[in-house]
Chain A
């Protein structure tokens, strides 16, 4: 677990589905890494590309956007969000940030297993990206 504790993962959750989903994981007393920080928003479409880049600058290792997917109550928001994420990927590449450190996914209010799976995968991605970077540096 030591490896996981020195990494910070930001989970961007929605008020309507993935934030309550994270609560469901808590109510079931499941376990995941304490390096995981959850913020909630009406919809992640609010964040510009620069928000993500700033997060990486500040030292966030990975970001998982847990959208409401088809449950999204806002017209056109999911489409805009996925288009924006595609643009963030481009910027990440330009800045030498491994794109596996950003993931757009959908989590509902009772998706306990999927929630944990996303965190585990992100941890693996971050470790992988780190070792690749170290490899390059070496």
Chain B
């Protein structure tokens, strides 16, 4: 790793440490409480400190000029500014160092406003003593600091998108239009994914196949590299530099190099177990996707006939395979129940009910639900329309899940439950046919999850970095997620997620290289005794590894948490910019028992 070396080799052992200390008055905000002159005088006596000054506003142009001039004229090579919080002006002063030709990381910002003068008013002497210790600690820290450079890795301008459904196509197109190379990998023999199963979609009433063709045509006309009937054999590497091996249906392996990966592996329909509301035992019990397929091509009619029998009463049951409760519902194969809401089934069910009534206006429809979750744009209209068209709603709870009993004549069934809407009255609902609004489960992608150590949640869907603020990124740097591999979503939401993940990829690959903060682990190979204790602490696959008998860090994968640092007996590993020696120096300064007589403020 060349980038690993350049952070280590720049230390110039022979260079004399010449620290410049600058104490800001902040126009009285600091100097009314802290005796800034006393701080300067005390710091002047400290070893390594060549210059100490105070100034009314260090952040002002003349303040910054003091620093720049001292760097250039007095060969100052380390800077400490004691002023406000670093969150306000650390970057300001780092830039000043850069302007003066000094490595910007040779800068330490000491907070003597928010964490000193503003909180110790009336205790001026003690606040001054504290400012002296804090500034001295800053000097100790920066004296032990070597120049740092950002970590730079190559950024391959190519993306592999896994999954050729709506989300995958949407992401692939956005990335291609952004000027990146794209390989779109689909397991099946055509693009479109689950949308191919749908007829019309809510709330726009477009045909799903039109949406698919619109995207597919764009993909084809843009000449994207589409690989049908292909699967992922292996992925290795890290952000900017992934090696993806693709296996086609003849088991031939092709290799693609990619800077980033977008996962759009989609969902499966929840498959009811045999006997769940009679499913699999009775031919008149079907899932919502099965029902939609069934009626798609049926002509409008006074009668709805299924398997040779007229269906008069049709019942829909919501939340089948979703919103399950432990102890009430039968667990899934992994022993867990599906606690989550599948988000789309309420509106999808009401959409289907309206469509069914358009074709078969004489049907009696019953809708058995827990909560109606028609949350999105135009969704509520389907609910309202269904209510107006005479659909009978029953509300069940987990204490009274509808009980299925086949009719004695075998042609239909009865559903028995307590209906909340009629004050928990027990109702028996005759149903000639039952439609189960089944939820979503993630596609089987355990090979990818294992290969890349992808994080998944208790719901088995892929788990984003932060459910609020970083919804389309995985903890694996360079791997994004789009659509229902993350959790239930409708087409609109999947497409938005695809767009967002394209933005994240574009950010990574917009330049030829990726620059990252230098605050990552570094190994002093001379000190490392190869004990391997650190390896067990690292949560980030590939970030820390052994080679030639000592620990190595891949700075592109290390996040700089420091977990490895604490367990290293010879202190061979440290986080650049935050070494244990630096902290020891700071503690020495903070714990200075007596400030020298001359250092005590008058």
Which residues of A are interface residues toward B (Cβ below 8 A)? 1, 5, 8, 10, 20, 22-23, 25-27, 29-32, 34-35, 37-39, 41-43, 45-49, 51, 54-55, 58-60, 73-77, 80, 84
Contact = CB atoms under 8 A, between A and B. Distances in A.
| Of listed B115, B519, B537, residue having the most chain A CB within 10 A | B115
Contact of B560 (A20, A25, A26, A42): A42
Interface in B103-160: 111, 113-116, 118-123, 126-127, 129-130, 133-134, 137
Nearest to A75: B539
A58 B588 contact: yes
Contact of A47 (B115, B129, B134, B583): B583
29 contacts: A8-B591, A10-B587, A22-B114, A22-B115, A23-B85, A23-B115, A25-B119, A26-B85, A37-B133, A37-B137, A39-B137, A41-B578, A42-B575, A43-B563, A45-B563, A45-B566, A46-B565, A46-B578, A47-B566, A48-B565, A48-B566, A54-B584, A55-B587, A58-B588, A59-B593, A74-B539, A74-B559, A76-B539, A76-B563
B561 A45 contact: yes
Contacts of A29: 118-119, 121
B578 A42 contact: yes
B126 A48 contact: no
Nearest to B571: A48
Nearest to A25: B119
Contact of A39 (B537, B540, B586): B586
Contacts of B591: 8, 55, 58-60
Interface string B556-575: 00011111011110000001
B566 A46 contact: yes
Nearest to A84: B566
A77 B563 contact: yes
Interface residues of B, number: 45
Given A25-B114, A29-B118, A39-B590, 4 more contacts: A32-B120, A37-B130, A54-B584, A77-B562
Interface in B542-568: 559-563, 565-568
B26 interface: no
A121 B499 CA distance: 50
B452 interface: no
Contacts of B593: 59
A9 to B, nearest CB: 10
B519 A51 contact: no
A29 B114 CA distance: 8
Nearest to B539: A75
Contacts of A46: 561-563, 565-566, 575, 578, 580
A10 B566 CA distance: 19
- Among B563, B565, B567, B575, max chain A CB count under 10 A is at B563
Contacts of A80: 537, 563, 566
B341 interface: no
Interface string B369-392: 000000000000000000000000
A31 B126 contact: no
B475 interface: yes
Contact of A51 (B118, B119, B126, B583): B583
Contacts of A25: 114, 119
A122 to B, nearest CB: 15
B554 to A, nearest CB: 16
A46 B519 CA distance: 13
Interface string B589-602: 01101000000000
Contacts of B519: 42
Contacts of B133: 37
A89 B78 CA distance: 37
Contacts of A39: 137, 583, 586, 590
B161 to A, nearest CB: 26
Given A8-B590, A37-B134, A26 B563 contact: no
A27 B580 contact: no
A55 to B, nearest CB: 6
Contacts of A38: 111, 115
B251 interface: no
A48 B537 CA distance: 13
B35 to A, nearest CB: 13
Contacts of B568: 48
B214 interface: no
A58 B127 CA distance: 21
A27 B111 contact: no
B561 A74 contact: yes
A23 B566 CA distance: 27
Contacts of A76: 539, 563
Contacts of B587: 10, 54-55, 58, 60
A48 B85 CA distance: 27
Could you say which of A22, A37, A43 has the most chain B C-beta atoms within 10 Å of its C-beta?
Answer: A37
B590 A10 contact: yes
Contact of B475 (A30, A54, A75): A75
A22 B580 CA distance: 23
B119 A30 contact: yes
A45 B562 contact: yes
B87 interface: yes
Contacts of B586: 39
Nearest to B567: A48
Contacts of A58: 587-588, 591
Contacts of B119: 25-26, 29-32
Contacts of B118: 26-27, 29
Query: Taking each of A23, A27, A84, which has the highest tally of chain B beta carbons within 10 Å of its own beta carbon?
Result: A23
**Which among B121, B565, B583 has the greatest number of chain A C-beta atoms within 10 A?**
B583
A34 B116 CA distance: 7
Interface string B239-273: 00000000000000000000000000000000000
A74 B540 CA distance: 10
Closest CB pairs A-B (n = 4): A46-B562, A26-B114, A75-B539, A74-B561
B566 A5 contact: no
A55 B567 CA distance: 18
B148 to A, nearest CB: 14
A15 B129 CA distance: 25
Interface in B65-94: 85, 87
A60 B593 CA distance: 10
Contacts of A27: 114, 118
A26 B593 CA distance: 26
A74 B588 contact: no
Contacts of B584: 51, 54
Contact of A34 (B111, B120, B539, B561): B120
Contacts of A75: 475, 539-540, 561
A81 B120 CA distance: 31
